[in-house]
Amino acid sequence: MKFDGIIFDFDGVLLESEYAGNAHLAETLTALGHPVTTEESMAHFMGLAGQDFLDAITARIGHPIPAGFADIRAEEDRRAMAEGIDPVAGAIAFVRSLPPGMPRAIASSSSTAWIERHLDHMGIRDVFGAHIFSGREHVTRGKPAPDVYLHAARAIGIDIARAVILEDSPVGVTGAVASGAYVIGLVAGQHCAPGHAERLQALGVQAIARNFDEVARLIG
């Protein structure tokens, strides 16, 4: 093993939540009378939050946010938490194959409650133990600042320069590269459109992996 430890982003790396979220968003808008495909949703709304997100929807459908939209979204969040979301292909087998003594952590922008619940659904919570870190809860500055990765590396007792990070989003990659770790841009999730790998390369990832088999080879 070339690295002393491994740090995972969560949504889009272990959990297909980006794709699931956009599929539901497209369904919702379509049902409310504004036909949108999952692909369009990913192209136009992914990575946005708060007012930017709502503005992008308004601009795309050429109509104010439909009545009932927020309620449907909140209900979907509750359903996702209760029932779970598909893992990224190969993710569960990969984390189960990590050498037993190898330090590992999750460093995510999501809440620890979200991460823990979905790790439970996937049946891999034991793999990470208490090493689940949220950019909202454990540090003052979330991604794209490198702080949550540095915090995770410290917490699992490794030098960030000897760590490998798996990331899928431009914001996460920027922070991961800034931390000084070896960064693999993982484009295994269904949300990764053509050109995504090149975008991550432009932001400085050391390697691209199209699936977890490639990750295993890169860190082997």
Partner 1 sequence: MDRGQQGDIRTQAICLAKFGRVMRRCRMHQIGKGTAGKAAMEAVRAPAARLRGRPGEQQHQPPPPRDDADSREQRAARRRCQRMMAHDHPRSGRQGSQRPPQTVALAFVGHEPEPGQTEWGEGVAARHRPAYSGAMDEHEAAKAAAARLAGVTDRIAAAAKLARRAGEDVALIAISKTQPVESIRPLIAAGQRRFGENRVQEAEAKWPALRDEFPDLELHLVGSLQSNKAEDAVALFDVIHSVDRPSLVKALGLAMDRAGRRPDCFIQVNIGEEEQKGGCAIADLPALLEQARAADLPVIGLMCVPPADLEPAPWFALLAKLARDHGLPGLSMGMSADLEAGVMLGATQVRVGTALFGARA
Distance CA(87)–CA(46), nearest Å, equals 18
* Binding-site member from 15, 181, 186, 188 for partner 1 (CB under 8 A): 181
Least Å from the CB of residue 33 to partner 1:
28
Q: Is 157 in the site for partner 1 (CB under 8 A)?
A: no
Least Å from the CB of residue 129 to partner 1:
26
The dihedral over CA atoms of 139, 219, 207, 166, expressed in degrees to the nearest 10, equals -30
Distance CA(76)–CA(101), nearest Å, equals 38
* Binding-site member from 8, 45, 133, 182 for partner 1 (CB under 8 A): 182
CB–CB of 8/153 below 8 Å?
A: no
* Binding-site member from 29, 122, 158, 177 for partner 1 (CB under 8 A): 177
The pair of three-digit structure tokens given for residue 58, joined into one six-digit string: 């308004």
Q: Is 49 in the site for partner 1 (CB under 8 A)?
A: yes
- Picking from 71, 68, 40, the residue whose alpha carbon sits closest to that of residue 56 is 40
E strand or H helix at 40 = helix 38-45
* Binding-site member from 30, 37, 112, 206 for partner 1 (CB under 8 A): 206
Rule CB under 8 A: which of 58-87 touch partner 1?
none
Contacts of 40 (CB under 8 A, 6+ apart): 26, 60
Distance CA(143)–CA(126), nearest Å, equals 25
CB–CB of 139/105 below 8 Å?
A: no
Helix, strand, coil tally for the chain in percent (to 5): 50, 15, 40
Least Å from the CB of residue 217 to partner 1:
6
Closer residue to partner 1 in complex, CB, 122/147: 147
Closer residue to partner 1 in complex, CB, 84/170: 170
Closer residue to partner 1 in complex, CB, 65/207: 207
Q: Is 90 in the site for partner 1 (CB under 8 A)?
A: no
Beta pairing class for 132-134 and 163-167 = unpaired
Least Å from the CB of residue 17 to partner 1:
18
Least Å from the CB of residue 178 to partner 1:
4
CB–CB of 109/136 below 8 Å?
A: yes
Q: Is 98 in the site for partner 1 (CB under 8 A)?
A: no
Q: Is 8 in the site for partner 1 (CB under 8 A)?
A: no
Residues near partner 1, by CB under 8 A: 2, 47-49, 52, 144-146, 159-162, 170-171, 174-175, 177-182, 195, 197-199, 201-204, 206-208, 214, 217-218, 220
